[in-house]
Structure 1
Amino acid sequence: MLAWLNNKTTPLSHIVQNFNQVALPAGNIRAADCPFLVIDLELTGLNAKQDHIVSLGWVPVRHYEIVLSDARHYLVNSPVSVGQSAAFHGLHDKDFSHARDLAEVLTELLQHYAGYIFVAHHCQLDLRFLEVASQRIFGKAPKFSFIDTLNIELYRLQKQGIVMKKDALRLPQCLARHKLPQSGQHHALADAYSCALLLLSQLKHSHADITLSDLQLQSR
């Protein structure tokens, strides 16, 4: 097993238990008062049971402010070559000489961001990989609460009666629609930051007192 894991004396499942014990914000809390963590993963493929996380990036959003001082980006050791997935995320095997163990990165994530609402663009993919990896490392999956900026955007467009063109809900197209800056895509931190900008723009175009429950409904 990984050396980092061998040095742990406390059962790793306690990391997930502690995460799950922290209460999430109530549904009636204003979104402005809700702590969000916007996250993005880069992967070797799309099957969470056989593919692997090769990088993670996250950006906290508190009181409608992106907290860049707490943003993080990690390359992650993979048990397999990145192979052809390098064409999408631009990472090659030679780039991982100083990569971190996934167990260490997920432990930091769970210990620092219990009680946060997680955010991603097309969150089901990120959620599935986080759950499978946590189950493998900690013996159980955390109870993440996610909202999805892709589904929120779909809700907005449908409410406006806008007919969507092909790929209209991809992150670059959403950013362009909101007149937000584009960054190099398929970099975990850059995409997390872009997703955070999109979330703030979506909130700006909503009513001032939008609640977490409102967002969760839009995100379904």
Structure 2
Amino acid sequence: MSQWLQKLAHWYDRRQKLKQPWQSLRYVALDIESTGLDPKKHQVLSIAWMTIHPPVMHYGNAQYHVFSHGQELDLGQSPTIHGLTEQDFLHSSEPKQTFAMLSRALNHAVLVCHHKGMDWRFLKHIEAQYGIPFKPLAIFDTLAFEKNKLERNPQQPIQGGQLTLSACRKRYNLPNYHYHHALTDTVACAELFLAQCYASKLFKEPLNSLLKNFS
């Protein structure tokens, strides 16, 4: 019974926090670069995250970690993979310690990512592998938000490539970055999130009403 009461209390606390104006919440933008799309078969190469207190992005507290998985990585013909060189893998982070830091960062925060499907799948796999819980207040997907926005105009069906991070940023006149690097993509996602927030009338409502569509 006590476990059930704890879950109910957590659910109620979460709902109350999400009823606040969106600007008063804390957000954590995140990006994961991996060797593939399936967390059961592929490995996380690098991860980055950064805290946002709208409208401030905390660059100084951003975290960026690379994982060599105890092996020398053979890049073959390519000098880089996801913006990483062999030199980068010489300074590998310890996974369990890194993910414990991320767990603390996500506590009482809204996770922000571009295409939550992949990032959240990897986080849930890490959670099971290391026994480290990831319990953000909610997840905000910048891709899903943009998709929902474009779908409101049925006269112009969504075309291929319109939902990439680069294409979404372009619609808000944000600068073009070199992508597929975890830290760069984290910054790019955070900037897109804030641009979406301040450009949208929807964000005059509590965030809780939006997360029904985008979490």
What is the TM-score of this pair, normalised by structure 2?
0.82
Distance 1:215 1:86, change over 3 A: farther
Who is 1:110 aligned against? 103
Q: CA deviation at 1:142?
A: 2.8
Is the 2:28–2:105 contact (alpha carbons within 8 Å) kept by the matching residues of 1? no
Q: Indicate the percent of aligned positions where both proteins have the same amino acid.
A: 25
1:33-73 alpha-carbon deviations (Å, 9 max, x no partner): 11110000110111111111111111111132111121111
CA contact (8 A) 1:82 1:92 kept: no
Quickly say closer, same or farther: Cα 1:200–1:82, change in 2 above 3 A: farther
> Matches of 1:97 and 1:88 in 2, distance apart?
14
- Structure 1 gaps, min length 5: 1-20
Q: What is the alpha-carbon distance in structure 1 between the residues aligned to residue 31 and residue 125 of structure 2?
A: 16
Q: Please state whether the residue corresponding to 2:183 is helix, strand or coil.
A: helix
Alignment equivalent of 1:143, drawn from 135, 140, 145: 135
Equivalent pair of 1:132/1:141 in contact (CA under 8 Å): no
- Pairwise CA distance, 1:26: 2.5
C-alpha distance in 1 between matches for 2:144 and 2:196: 11
Q: Secondary structure at the match of 1:56?
A: strand
Q: Following superposition of structure 1 onto structure 2, how do residues 54-203 of structure 1 map, counting pairs within 5 Å?
A: 54-78=45-69, 81=73, 89-138=82-131, 141-144=133-136, 145-161=138-154, 162-203=156-197
- Superposition deviation, residue 218 in structure 1: 3.5
Note the C-alpha offset of 1:133. Answer: 1.3
> In structure 1, what residue type is equivalent to 2:36?
G
CA distance in 2, matches of 1:72, 1:38: 11
Q: CA RMSD in A?
A: 2.4
Task: Give the aligned length.
Answer: 199
- 27, 32, 36: which one pairs with 1:41? 32
C-alpha displacement at 1:79, in angstroms? 5.1
Structure 2 residue runs without a partner (length 5+): 1-9
TM-score, normalisation: structure 1 = 0.81
Would you say the 8 A contact 1:77–1:102 is kept in 2?
Answer: no
Name which structure has the greater RCO, CA cutoff 8 Å, separation 6+: 1
1:189 is paired with a residue of what secondary structure?
helix
- Indicate conservation of the 8 Å contact 2:103/2:135, yes or no: no
Q: In the aligned structure 2, how far is the partner of 1:199 from the partner of 1:105?
A: 24
